[in-house]
């Protein structure tokens, strides 16, 4: 059996149909919603990680075939395999994977798919390189490419490099979608956990115009007095 079909078969064996309705609602798969048409088999992320570990030698062709699947867990498991391979790869392998990732962003099309892969692949790869790619993604018409851009900077944040996080959050501050507000607020919060001055400087400059969700996410770890100050606008 081809590799991707074996992965799909292994996932199907551990599916839980009784969970699919809840997941479909949680990931907004209804008509006109951001996850419209996404299909779920009701498999937990830890269970998908176990399948991914068992298929860590999958080829990029296998991974591409899994990403082409309409089933959410097939795509997420493909990305979990890709993260494993990137982590254990040499420079050439990592470049190949980063290029593959960028070539398949249309299939990295829900927030968990982005959040479990972007910083571990693209963020890590671009850390010691020019980062124009992130700004190109941020200017895309794709919600998911825009989220990939900002979440990729989580790797930079973990290395106390906040410049691109701040720049991208400023670039996306007027975005209309709640999923971008959440992502930018999350990254600002993470930056603030490592250097509070970075967050406070951003808030002092932008708190009056930030989307409410972005503001709430960014100030979660501040003390009550600070939160009250910024929420008061």
Predicted confidence band of residue 233 (pLDDT cuts 50, 70, 90): confident
Same-domain check for residues 82 and 133:
no
Q: What is the pLDDT of residue 95?
A: 98
Q: Which of 91, 108, 125 is the last residue of a domain?
A: 108
Q: What is the pLDDT of residue 185?
A: 98
Predicted confidence band of residue 221 (pLDDT cuts 50, 70, 90): very high
Q: Which of 75, 108, 141 is the last residue of a domain?
A: 108
Question: For the residues 53-69, what does the mean pLDDT come to?
Answer: 97
Q: What is the pLDDT of residue 161?
A: 98
Q: Which of 46, 79, 108 is the last residue of a domain?
A: 108
Q: Which two tokens stand for residue 175?
A: 């975005």
2 compared with 200, residue with greater pLDDT: 200
Same-domain check for residues 102 and 121:
no
Same-domain check for residues 206 and 133:
yes
Q: What angle do CA 118, 119, 123 make, to 5 degrees?
A: 105
The pTM is what? 0.96
Whether residue 90 is predicted with pLDDT greater than 70 in this model: the reply is yes
The mean pLDDT value of the chain amounts to 96
Same-domain check for residues 54 and 165:
no
The model's pLDDT over 7-29, given as tens digits with 9 standing for 90+, comes to 999 999 999 999 999 999 999 99
Q: What is the pLDDT of residue 3?
A: 85
Whether residue 1 is predicted with pLDDT greater than 80 in this model: the reply is no
Question: For the residues 199-211, what does the mean pLDDT come to?
Answer: 97
Same-domain check for residues 32 and 79:
yes
Same-domain check for residues 104 and 124:
no
Q: What angle do CA 27, 33, 37 make, to 5 degrees?
A: 70
Share of residues in the chain with pLDDT > 70 (%): 99
Same-domain check for residues 122 and 74:
no
Q: How many CB atoms lie within 10 A of CB 10?
A: 17
Rounded CA Rg of the chain? 19
User: What is the domain range of residue 9?
Assistant: 1-108
Q: What is the pLDDT of residue 201?
A: 98
The model's pLDDT over 170-188, given as tens digits with 9 standing for 90+, comes to 999 999 999 999 999 999 9
Q: What is the pLDDT of residue 2?
A: 61
Q: Number of structural domains, the chain?
A: 2
Pair 122, 101: CB distance under 8 Å: yes
The model's pLDDT over 91-141, given as tens digits with 9 standing for 90+, comes to 999 999 999 999 999 999 999 999 999 999 999 999 999 999 999 999 999
Q: What CATH number is attached to the domain comprising 4? A: 1.25.10.90
């Amino acid at each position: 059996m081809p590799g991707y079909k074996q992965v799909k078969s292994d996932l199907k064996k551990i599916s839980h149909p009784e969970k699919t309705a809840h997941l479909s609602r949680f990931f907004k798969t209804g008509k006109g919603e951001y996850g419209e048409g996404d299909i779920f088999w009701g498999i937990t992320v830890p269970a998908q990680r176990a399948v991914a570990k068992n298929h860590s030698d999958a080829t990029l062709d296998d991974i591409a075939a899994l990403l082409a699947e309409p089933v959410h867990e097939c795509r997420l498991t493909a990305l979990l395999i890709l993260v494993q391979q990137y982590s254990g790869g040499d420079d050439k392998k990592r470049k190949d994977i980063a290029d593959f990732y960028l070539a398949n962003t249309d299939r990295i099309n829900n927030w968990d798919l982005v959040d479990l892969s972007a910083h571990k692949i693209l963020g890590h790869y671009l850390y010691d390189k020019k980062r124009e790619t992130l700004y190109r993604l941020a200017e895309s018409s794709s919600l998911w490419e825009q989220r990939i851009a900002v979440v990729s900077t989580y790797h930079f944040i973990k290395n106390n490099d906040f410049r691109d996080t701040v720049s991208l959050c400023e670039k996306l501050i007027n975005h209309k979608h709640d999923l971008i507000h959440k992502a930018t607020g999350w990254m600002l919060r993470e930056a603030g956990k490592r250097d509070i001055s970075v967050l406070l400087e951003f808030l002092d400059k932008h708190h009056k115009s930030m989307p409410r969700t972005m503001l709430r996410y960014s100030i979660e770890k501040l003390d009550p007095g600070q939160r009250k100050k910024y929420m008061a606008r």
